[in-house]
Structure 1
Amino acid sequence: MAESFKKFIDSNIHKNVNEILPGFSQLLHNNYIPHLGAKRIIRQVFEGVAKSMSEEDKVHLKKAEELVNTVVETSTRALPKVRDTMFFPNPQCENKLIKYLDMAKNEMLVCVFTITNNNLRDALIRAHNRHVKVQIISDDECMKQQGSDIQFLRDNGIPTETDTNPDAHMHNKFVVIDKEIVITGSFNWTIAAVNSNQENLLAIHDPEICEEYIEYFEGLWRNFRPVEVLREKAAVCIQRHYRGSQVRNRN
Protein backbone atom coordinates (compact mmCIF):
# COMPACT_ATOMS: atom_id res chain seq x y z
CA MET A 1 0.00 0.00 0.00
CA ALA A 2 2.75 2.43 0.89
CA GLU A 3 4.55 1.74 -2.39
CA SER A 4 1.37 2.34 -4.44
CA PHE A 5 0.79 5.68 -2.76
CA LYS A 6 4.45 6.66 -3.24
CA LYS A 7 4.23 5.94 -6.98
CA PHE A 8 1.04 8.00 -7.18
CA ILE A 9 2.74 10.99 -5.48
CA ASP A 10 5.89 10.74 -7.62
CA SER A 11 3.88 10.72 -10.86
CA ASN A 12 1.49 13.53 -9.89
CA ILE A 13 3.56 15.86 -7.74
CA HIS A 14 3.78 18.60 -10.39
CA LYS A 15 0.11 18.57 -11.34
CA ASN A 16 -2.44 20.95 -9.90
CA VAL A 17 -4.89 19.85 -7.20
CA ASN A 18 -7.88 19.41 -9.53
CA GLU A 19 -5.91 16.97 -11.69
CA ILE A 20 -4.78 14.92 -8.67
CA LEU A 21 -8.15 14.70 -6.90
CA PRO A 22 -9.71 11.83 -8.96
CA GLY A 23 -6.72 9.55 -8.37
CA PHE A 24 -6.51 10.59 -4.74
CA SER A 25 -10.21 9.78 -4.28
CA GLN A 26 -9.66 6.35 -5.81
CA LEU A 27 -6.85 5.59 -3.35
CA LEU A 28 -9.12 6.72 -0.53
CA HIS A 29 -11.91 4.47 -1.83
CA ASN A 30 -9.51 1.51 -1.95
CA ASN A 31 -8.54 2.16 1.70
CA TYR A 32 -4.89 2.87 0.88
CA ILE A 33 -4.80 6.24 2.60
CA PRO A 34 -6.48 5.40 5.95
CA HIS A 35 -4.20 2.38 6.25
CA LEU A 36 -1.04 4.44 5.84
CA GLY A 37 -1.78 7.04 8.48
CA ALA A 38 -1.38 10.81 8.23
CA LYS A 39 2.31 10.97 9.10
CA ARG A 40 3.34 8.54 6.36
CA ILE A 41 1.20 10.35 3.79
CA ILE A 42 2.78 13.71 4.68
CA ARG A 43 6.27 12.17 4.55
CA GLN A 44 5.75 10.75 1.07
CA VAL A 45 4.24 13.98 -0.26
CA PHE A 46 7.17 16.02 1.03
CA GLU A 47 9.68 13.47 -0.30
CA GLY A 48 8.08 13.82 -3.74
CA VAL A 49 8.35 17.62 -3.61
CA ALA A 50 11.96 17.51 -2.37
CA LYS A 51 13.22 15.58 -5.42
CA SER A 52 13.26 18.71 -7.55
CA MET A 53 14.64 21.09 -4.88
CA SER A 54 18.09 22.28 -3.92
CA GLU A 55 19.71 21.09 -0.68
CA GLU A 56 19.16 24.51 0.88
CA ASP A 57 15.46 24.48 0.00
CA LYS A 58 15.14 20.92 1.37
CA VAL A 59 16.15 22.22 4.81
CA HIS A 60 13.26 24.71 4.76
CA LEU A 61 10.93 22.01 3.42
CA LYS A 62 11.84 19.72 6.31
CA LYS A 63 10.85 22.42 8.78
CA ALA A 64 7.58 22.88 6.93
CA GLU A 65 6.92 19.14 7.17
CA GLU A 66 7.51 19.19 10.93
CA LEU A 67 5.08 22.08 11.26
CA VAL A 68 2.41 20.30 9.22
CA ASN A 69 2.81 17.13 11.32
CA THR A 70 2.42 19.15 14.50
CA VAL A 71 -0.75 20.79 13.23
CA VAL A 72 -2.22 17.44 12.13
CA GLU A 73 -1.42 15.72 15.41
CA THR A 74 -2.77 18.49 17.62
CA SER A 75 -5.86 19.55 15.70
CA THR A 76 -7.24 16.61 13.73
CA ARG A 77 -6.31 13.56 15.76
CA ALA A 78 -9.25 11.92 17.51
CA LEU A 79 -9.03 11.37 21.23
CA PRO A 80 -8.23 7.74 22.06
CA LYS A 81 -11.15 5.59 23.15
CA VAL A 82 -9.01 4.10 25.91
CA ARG A 83 -6.65 6.07 28.14
CA ASP A 84 -6.01 4.14 31.30
CA THR A 85 -3.34 3.73 33.96
CA MET A 86 -2.67 0.84 36.32
CA PHE A 87 -0.39 1.07 39.32
CA PHE A 88 0.84 -1.80 41.47
CA PRO A 89 0.88 -3.43 43.95
CA ASN A 90 -2.87 -3.65 43.44
CA PRO A 91 -4.94 -6.80 42.74
CA GLN A 92 -7.72 -4.62 41.33
CA CYS A 93 -5.36 -3.47 38.59
CA GLU A 94 -4.60 -7.10 37.81
CA ASN A 95 -8.34 -7.61 37.29
CA LYS A 96 -8.41 -4.56 35.03
CA LEU A 97 -5.58 -5.99 32.92
CA ILE A 98 -7.39 -9.33 32.68
CA LYS A 99 -10.51 -7.53 31.44
CA TYR A 100 -8.46 -5.95 28.65
CA LEU A 101 -7.06 -9.35 27.67
CA ASP A 102 -10.57 -10.81 27.69
CA MET A 103 -11.66 -8.05 25.29
CA ALA A 104 -9.47 -9.38 22.47
CA LYS A 105 -11.50 -10.53 19.48
CA ASN A 106 -9.02 -11.15 16.68
CA GLU A 107 -5.35 -10.81 17.67
CA MET A 108 -3.15 -10.44 20.73
CA LEU A 109 0.62 -9.95 20.56
CA VAL A 110 2.28 -10.49 23.94
CA CYS A 111 5.90 -9.45 24.44
CA VAL A 112 6.77 -9.88 28.13
CA PHE A 113 10.04 -10.61 29.94
CA THR A 114 8.55 -13.28 32.21
CA ILE A 115 5.12 -14.86 32.69
CA THR A 116 4.49 -16.73 35.96
CA ASN A 117 1.09 -15.30 36.90
CA ASN A 118 -1.50 -18.03 36.34
CA ASN A 119 -4.41 -15.57 36.26
CA LEU A 120 -2.87 -13.80 33.26
CA ARG A 121 -1.79 -17.11 31.76
CA ASP A 122 -5.37 -18.35 31.90
CA ALA A 123 -6.59 -15.17 30.18
CA LEU A 124 -4.27 -15.99 27.27
CA ILE A 125 -5.58 -19.58 27.17
CA ARG A 126 -9.16 -18.26 27.10
CA ALA A 127 -8.31 -15.96 24.19
CA HIS A 128 -6.69 -18.83 22.31
CA ASN A 129 -9.71 -21.07 22.95
CA ARG A 130 -12.09 -18.45 21.51
CA HIS A 131 -9.93 -18.43 18.36
CA VAL A 132 -8.06 -15.18 18.96
CA LYS A 133 -4.67 -15.29 17.20
CA VAL A 134 -2.29 -15.16 20.17
CA GLN A 135 1.50 -14.92 19.79
CA ILE A 136 3.93 -14.70 22.69
CA ILE A 137 7.55 -13.55 22.92
CA SER A 138 9.46 -13.96 26.19
CA ASP A 139 12.99 -14.17 27.58
CA ASP A 140 14.89 -17.41 27.03
CA GLU A 141 16.34 -17.54 30.55
CA CYS A 142 13.09 -16.67 32.31
CA MET A 143 11.18 -19.43 30.55
CA LYS A 144 13.55 -21.98 32.13
CA GLN A 145 12.90 -20.73 35.67
CA GLN A 146 10.59 -22.54 38.05
CA GLY A 147 7.00 -21.33 37.75
CA SER A 148 7.32 -20.03 34.19
CA ASP A 149 4.14 -20.47 32.15
CA ILE A 150 5.80 -20.19 28.74
CA GLN A 151 6.13 -23.93 28.14
CA PHE A 152 2.56 -24.47 29.38
CA LEU A 153 1.24 -21.88 26.92
CA ARG A 154 3.24 -23.45 24.09
CA ASP A 155 2.02 -26.93 25.02
CA ASN A 156 -1.54 -25.60 24.76
CA GLY A 157 -0.98 -24.59 21.16
CA ILE A 158 -0.08 -20.90 21.43
CA PRO A 159 2.84 -19.93 19.14
CA THR A 160 5.66 -18.81 21.43
CA GLU A 161 9.21 -17.61 20.82
CA THR A 162 12.19 -16.51 22.92
CA ASP A 163 15.30 -14.46 22.22
CA THR A 164 18.51 -16.14 21.08
CA ASN A 165 21.19 -14.09 22.83
CA PRO A 166 22.40 -15.66 26.11
CA ASP A 167 24.19 -12.41 27.03
CA ALA A 168 21.11 -10.17 26.75
CA HIS A 169 17.48 -10.17 27.85
CA MET A 170 14.23 -9.79 25.96
CA HIS A 171 13.13 -7.19 28.52
CA ASN A 172 9.99 -5.76 26.89
CA LYS A 173 6.63 -5.71 28.69
CA PHE A 174 3.78 -4.92 26.32
CA VAL A 175 0.71 -6.42 24.69
CA VAL A 176 -1.09 -5.23 21.55
CA ILE A 177 -4.79 -6.10 21.35
CA ASP A 178 -6.67 -6.19 18.02
CA LYS A 179 -4.22 -3.71 16.43
CA GLU A 180 -5.92 -0.92 18.43
CA ILE A 181 -4.95 -1.03 22.10
CA VAL A 182 -1.40 -1.22 23.44
CA ILE A 183 -0.69 -1.85 27.13
CA THR A 184 2.88 -1.22 28.23
CA GLY A 185 4.94 -0.31 31.28
CA SER A 186 7.29 -1.80 33.87
CA PHE A 187 4.90 -4.59 34.87
CA ASN A 188 6.06 -8.20 34.49
CA TRP A 189 3.33 -10.83 34.46
CA THR A 190 4.14 -12.24 37.91
CA ILE A 191 2.35 -12.55 41.26
CA ALA A 192 5.05 -10.41 42.90
CA ALA A 193 4.37 -7.61 40.40
CA VAL A 194 0.70 -7.67 41.42
CA ASN A 195 1.06 -8.00 45.20
CA SER A 196 4.48 -6.59 46.13
CA ASN A 197 6.28 -4.52 43.51
CA GLN A 198 5.90 -0.87 42.57
CA GLU A 199 4.92 -1.18 38.92
CA ASN A 200 2.89 0.67 36.30
CA LEU A 201 1.00 0.06 33.08
CA LEU A 202 -0.44 2.45 30.50
CA ALA A 203 -3.28 1.33 28.23
CA ILE A 204 -4.09 3.49 25.23
CA HIS A 205 -6.25 3.15 22.14
CA ASP A 206 -4.08 4.33 19.25
CA PRO A 207 -3.92 2.30 16.01
CA GLU A 208 -0.94 4.31 14.70
CA ILE A 209 1.15 3.61 17.78
CA CYS A 210 -0.04 -0.01 17.70
CA GLU A 211 1.25 -0.24 14.14
CA GLU A 212 4.75 0.68 15.34
CA TYR A 213 4.59 -1.89 18.16
CA ILE A 214 3.35 -4.54 15.73
CA GLU A 215 6.21 -3.81 13.33
CA TYR A 216 8.68 -4.11 16.22
CA PHE A 217 7.06 -7.34 17.44
CA GLU A 218 7.19 -8.88 13.96
CA GLY A 219 10.89 -8.01 13.68
CA LEU A 220 11.60 -9.83 16.94
CA TRP A 221 9.46 -12.77 15.84
CA ARG A 222 11.45 -13.18 12.63
CA ASN A 223 14.77 -13.24 14.48
CA PHE A 224 13.91 -15.27 17.58
CA ARG A 225 13.41 -19.04 17.90
CA PRO A 226 10.22 -21.00 18.50
CA VAL A 227 9.72 -22.70 21.84
CA GLU A 228 9.59 -26.45 21.29
CA VAL A 229 7.16 -28.80 23.01
CA LEU A 230 9.12 -30.82 25.56
CA ARG A 231 9.36 -34.47 24.52
CA GLU A 232 8.15 -35.87 27.83
CA LYS A 233 5.13 -33.53 27.80
CA ALA A 234 4.40 -34.44 24.19
CA ALA A 235 4.47 -38.13 25.17
CA VAL A 236 2.02 -37.49 28.00
CA CYS A 237 -0.32 -35.68 25.62
CA ILE A 238 -0.16 -38.52 23.10
CA GLN A 239 -0.90 -41.08 25.81
CA ARG A 240 -3.81 -39.00 27.12
CA HIS A 241 -5.33 -38.70 23.65
CA TYR A 242 -4.81 -42.43 23.05
CA ARG A 243 -6.49 -43.41 26.32
CA GLY A 244 -9.37 -41.07 25.57
CA SER A 245 -9.88 -42.58 22.11
CA GLN A 246 -9.88 -46.09 23.63
CA VAL A 247 -12.61 -45.10 26.10
CA ARG A 248 -14.69 -43.55 23.31
CA ASN A 249 -14.30 -46.68 21.17
CA ARG A 250 -15.45 -48.91 24.04
CA ASN A 251 -18.51 -46.74 24.55
Structure 2
Amino acid sequence: MWTVKVVSLGVLALSLSLELLYRLLCRLKPSKTLNEVLFFPSEVACVEHIFSPTSAQSCFCLLPHGVETSFCRLLRHILSASSSLDLCVFAFSNLDLGRAVLALHSRGITVRILTDKDYSAISGSQIGLLRKAGICVRCDVGSVYMHHKFAVVDNRLLITGSLNWTLTAVQSNMENILITEEPDLVLPFIEEFQRLWMHNDPARYHRSGDQTPAE
Protein backbone atom coordinates (compact mmCIF):
# COMPACT_ATOMS: atom_id res chain seq x y z
CA MET A 1 0.00 0.00 0.00
CA TRP A 2 2.70 2.43 1.02
CA THR A 3 4.71 1.49 -2.04
CA VAL A 4 1.81 2.44 -4.28
CA LYS A 5 1.40 5.78 -2.48
CA VAL A 6 5.10 6.56 -2.70
CA VAL A 7 5.18 5.75 -6.40
CA SER A 8 2.05 7.86 -7.00
CA LEU A 9 3.55 10.80 -5.12
CA GLY A 10 6.79 10.39 -7.05
CA VAL A 11 4.96 10.46 -10.38
CA LEU A 12 3.00 13.53 -9.29
CA ALA A 13 6.16 15.31 -8.14
CA LEU A 14 7.91 14.48 -11.40
CA SER A 15 4.92 15.73 -13.40
CA LEU A 16 4.86 19.01 -11.46
CA SER A 17 8.62 19.41 -11.84
CA LEU A 18 8.41 18.92 -15.58
CA GLU A 19 5.57 21.43 -15.83
CA LEU A 20 7.52 24.01 -13.82
CA LEU A 21 10.61 23.38 -15.95
CA TYR A 22 8.56 23.84 -19.13
CA ARG A 23 7.10 27.13 -17.89
CA LEU A 24 10.56 28.35 -16.92
CA LEU A 25 11.98 27.50 -20.33
CA CYS A 26 9.06 29.25 -22.02
CA ARG A 27 9.83 32.40 -20.05
CA LEU A 28 13.53 32.23 -20.83
CA LYS A 29 12.98 31.54 -24.53
CA PRO A 30 13.35 34.82 -26.48
CA SER A 31 10.46 36.06 -28.56
CA LYS A 32 10.63 35.16 -32.23
CA THR A 33 13.06 37.36 -34.15
CA LEU A 34 11.98 38.68 -37.52
CA ASN A 35 13.97 37.31 -40.43
CA GLU A 36 12.67 37.75 -43.96
CA VAL A 37 14.10 37.54 -47.47
CA LEU A 38 12.60 39.39 -50.44
CA PHE A 39 13.45 38.77 -54.07
CA PHE A 40 13.07 41.09 -57.04
CA PRO A 41 11.97 42.01 -59.67
CA SER A 42 8.69 42.60 -57.91
CA GLU A 43 5.31 42.17 -59.52
CA VAL A 44 3.98 45.57 -60.59
CA ALA A 45 0.92 46.39 -58.49
CA CYS A 46 -0.86 49.34 -56.92
CA VAL A 47 0.68 50.36 -53.58
CA GLU A 48 -1.85 52.99 -52.60
CA HIS A 49 -3.22 50.75 -49.84
CA ILE A 50 0.21 50.80 -48.19
CA PHE A 51 0.15 54.57 -47.82
CA SER A 52 -3.57 55.14 -47.21
CA PRO A 53 -5.86 52.15 -46.64
CA THR A 54 -8.99 54.30 -46.85
CA SER A 55 -8.19 56.12 -50.09
CA ALA A 56 -7.07 52.88 -51.70
CA GLN A 57 -10.71 51.84 -51.97
CA SER A 58 -11.31 54.69 -54.38
CA CYS A 59 -8.15 54.11 -56.44
CA PHE A 60 -9.03 53.44 -60.08
CA CYS A 61 -5.54 53.00 -61.54
CA LEU A 62 -5.06 50.17 -64.02
CA LEU A 63 -2.54 48.28 -61.88
CA PRO A 64 -3.57 45.13 -59.97
CA HIS A 65 -4.98 45.87 -56.51
CA GLY A 66 -4.71 43.94 -53.26
CA VAL A 67 -1.54 42.11 -54.29
CA GLU A 68 1.11 41.59 -51.60
CA THR A 69 4.37 41.88 -53.53
CA SER A 70 8.01 42.04 -52.45
CA PHE A 71 7.90 45.79 -52.98
CA CYS A 72 4.80 46.08 -50.79
CA ARG A 73 6.61 44.18 -48.04
CA LEU A 74 9.60 46.50 -48.35
CA LEU A 75 7.39 49.60 -48.11
CA ARG A 76 5.61 48.21 -45.04
CA HIS A 77 8.89 47.62 -43.23
CA ILE A 78 10.11 51.14 -44.01
CA LEU A 79 6.83 52.72 -42.94
CA SER A 80 6.89 50.73 -39.68
CA ALA A 81 9.43 53.22 -38.29
CA SER A 82 8.24 54.87 -35.08
CA SER A 83 11.32 56.93 -34.17
CA SER A 84 14.08 56.85 -36.78
CA LEU A 85 15.22 55.77 -40.22
CA ASP A 86 18.91 55.73 -41.15
CA LEU A 87 19.34 55.14 -44.87
CA CYS A 88 22.64 54.49 -46.66
CA VAL A 89 22.00 54.02 -50.38
CA PHE A 90 23.93 54.39 -53.61
CA ALA A 91 21.13 55.43 -55.99
CA PHE A 92 17.70 56.73 -54.95
CA SER A 93 15.21 57.54 -57.72
CA ASN A 94 12.16 55.40 -56.93
CA LEU A 95 9.13 57.67 -56.47
CA ASP A 96 7.25 55.38 -54.08
CA LEU A 97 10.29 54.88 -51.87
CA GLY A 98 10.77 58.64 -51.86
CA ARG A 99 7.11 59.00 -50.91
CA ALA A 100 7.59 56.58 -48.02
CA VAL A 101 10.57 58.52 -46.66
CA LEU A 102 8.65 61.81 -46.97
CA ALA A 103 5.72 60.22 -45.13
CA LEU A 104 8.00 59.29 -42.24
CA HIS A 105 9.44 62.80 -42.15
CA SER A 106 5.95 64.32 -42.06
CA ARG A 107 5.13 62.10 -39.05
CA GLY A 108 8.09 63.53 -37.14
CA ILE A 109 10.32 60.48 -37.62
CA THR A 110 14.03 61.34 -37.60
CA VAL A 111 15.41 60.54 -41.06
CA ARG A 112 19.09 60.61 -41.99
CA ILE A 113 20.33 59.74 -45.46
CA LEU A 114 23.85 58.97 -46.69
CA THR A 115 24.32 58.72 -50.44
CA ASP A 116 26.90 58.86 -53.21
CA LYS A 117 27.78 62.41 -54.27
CA ASP A 118 27.79 61.65 -58.00
CA TYR A 119 24.55 59.68 -58.11
CA SER A 120 22.69 62.15 -55.90
CA ALA A 121 22.68 64.58 -58.84
CA ILE A 122 21.58 62.27 -61.65
CA SER A 123 18.30 62.86 -63.47
CA GLY A 124 15.34 61.54 -61.48
CA SER A 125 17.16 61.38 -58.16
CA GLN A 126 14.90 61.88 -55.14
CA ILE A 127 17.70 63.37 -53.06
CA GLY A 128 17.00 66.98 -54.03
CA LEU A 129 13.30 66.67 -53.15
CA LEU A 130 14.12 65.07 -49.82
CA ARG A 131 16.55 67.86 -48.99
CA LYS A 132 13.95 70.50 -49.88
CA ALA A 133 11.53 68.80 -47.50
CA GLY A 134 14.03 69.35 -44.67
CA ILE A 135 15.49 65.85 -44.46
CA CYS A 136 19.17 65.75 -43.54
CA VAL A 137 21.24 64.25 -46.37
CA ARG A 138 25.00 63.82 -46.45
CA CYS A 139 27.03 62.80 -49.48
CA ASP A 140 30.13 60.67 -49.25
CA VAL A 141 33.31 62.64 -50.00
CA GLY A 142 35.54 59.68 -50.78
CA SER A 143 37.10 58.99 -54.16
CA VAL A 144 35.28 55.65 -54.49
CA TYR A 145 31.56 55.00 -54.85
CA MET A 146 29.45 54.93 -51.70
CA HIS A 147 27.90 51.65 -52.85
CA HIS A 148 26.07 50.59 -49.68
CA LYS A 149 22.37 49.68 -49.84
CA PHE A 150 21.04 49.38 -46.32
CA ALA A 151 18.57 50.98 -43.95
CA VAL A 152 18.13 50.71 -40.19
CA VAL A 153 14.64 51.24 -38.79
CA ASP A 154 14.34 52.37 -35.14
CA ASN A 155 17.84 50.96 -34.41
CA ARG A 156 16.25 47.49 -34.35
CA LEU A 157 15.45 46.42 -37.92
CA LEU A 158 18.01 46.02 -40.70
CA ILE A 159 17.09 46.16 -44.40
CA THR A 160 20.02 45.28 -46.65
CA GLY A 161 20.87 43.55 -49.92
CA SER A 162 21.67 44.24 -53.55
CA LEU A 163 18.69 46.50 -54.25
CA ASN A 164 19.28 50.12 -55.21
CA TRP A 165 16.28 52.33 -54.51
CA THR A 166 15.42 52.75 -58.18
CA LEU A 167 12.48 51.75 -60.38
CA THR A 168 14.76 49.59 -62.55
CA ALA A 169 16.05 47.64 -59.56
CA VAL A 170 12.54 47.05 -58.20
CA GLN A 171 10.81 46.12 -61.45
CA SER A 172 13.51 44.84 -63.81
CA ASN A 173 16.56 43.48 -61.99
CA MET A 174 17.29 40.22 -60.19
CA GLU A 175 17.84 41.59 -56.68
CA ASN A 176 17.55 40.50 -53.07
CA ILE A 177 16.86 42.03 -49.69
CA LEU A 178 17.39 40.61 -46.22
CA ILE A 179 15.27 42.01 -43.39
CA THR A 180 16.28 41.03 -39.87
CA GLU A 181 16.03 41.99 -36.22
CA GLU A 182 19.00 39.83 -35.19
CA PRO A 183 21.00 42.15 -32.87
CA ASP A 184 24.35 40.66 -33.92
CA LEU A 185 23.59 41.67 -37.52
CA VAL A 186 21.86 44.99 -36.86
CA LEU A 187 24.52 46.47 -34.55
CA PRO A 188 27.43 46.47 -37.05
CA PHE A 189 25.28 48.38 -39.55
CA ILE A 190 24.29 50.91 -36.89
CA GLU A 191 27.97 51.42 -36.12
CA GLU A 192 28.91 51.68 -39.79
CA PHE A 193 26.22 54.23 -40.48
CA GLN A 194 27.30 56.34 -37.51
CA ARG A 195 30.95 56.13 -38.59
CA LEU A 196 30.12 57.29 -42.11
CA TRP A 197 27.73 59.95 -40.84
CA MET A 198 30.43 61.50 -38.66
CA HIS A 199 33.10 61.12 -41.33
CA ASN A 200 30.98 63.05 -43.82
CA ASP A 201 29.94 65.80 -41.42
CA PRO A 202 30.29 69.11 -43.35
CA ALA A 203 31.51 70.85 -40.19
CA ARG A 204 34.70 68.77 -40.26
CA TYR A 205 35.58 70.07 -43.70
CA HIS A 206 34.69 73.68 -42.95
CA ARG A 207 37.15 73.56 -40.08
CA SER A 208 39.91 71.83 -42.02
CA GLY A 209 39.44 73.67 -45.31
CA ASP A 210 39.13 70.41 -47.24
CA GLN A 211 36.51 69.55 -49.78
CA THR A 212 33.07 70.08 -48.28
CA PRO A 213 30.45 67.34 -48.65
CA ALA A 214 26.95 68.42 -49.56
CA GLU A 215 24.26 68.27 -46.89
Overall identity of the aligned pairs, in %: 34
2:180, 2:186 within 8 Å by CA — same for their partners in 1? no
Partner of 2:123: 146
The one-letter code sitting in structure 1 at the alignment partner of 2:214 is: V
* Within-5 A mapping of 1:102-141: 102-141=79-118
The one-letter code sitting in structure 2 at the alignment partner of 1:164 is: V
Deviations 1:49-97 (A, max 9, x none): xxxxxxxxxxxxxxxxxxxxxxxxxxx8846531111101014211111
**Cα distance 1:142–1:80, how it changes in 2: closer, same or farther (>3 A)?**
farther
Q: Does 1:202 align with 2:154?
A: no
Deviations 1:193-247 (A, max 9, x none): 111101000001123432221111011011114534xxxxxxxxxxxxxxxxxxx
The one-letter code sitting in structure 2 at the alignment partner of 1:227 is: A
Gaps of 5+ in 2: 1-27, 44-68, 203-212
Structure 2 distance, partners of 1:185, 1:213, is 12
**Cα distance 1:219–1:77, how it changes in 2: closer, same or farther (>3 A)?**
farther
Deviations 1:19-68 (A, max 9, x none): xxxxxxxxxxxxxxxxxxxxxxxxxxxxxxxxxxxxxxxxxxxxxxxxxx
TM-score of the aligned structures, taking structure 1 as reference length: 0.58
Structure 2 distance, partners of 1:192, 1:130, is 28
SS of the residue aligned with 1:98? helix
Bigger relative CO (Cα 8 Å, ≥ 6 apart): 2
The one-letter code sitting in structure 2 at the alignment partner of 1:99 is: R
* Within-5 A mapping of 1:29-48: none
Q: CA RMSD in A?
A: 1.6
TM-score of the aligned structures, taking structure 2 as reference length: 0.67
Structure 2 distance, partners of 1:186, 1:222, is 24
Structure 1 distance, partners of 2:90, 2:72, is 20
Partner of 2:36: 84
Structure 2 distance, partners of 1:77, 1:120, is 36
Structure 2 distance, partners of 1:174, 1:137, is 10
1:80, 1:205 within 8 Å by CA — same for their partners in 2? no
SS of the residue aligned with 1:96? helix
Partner of 1:45: none
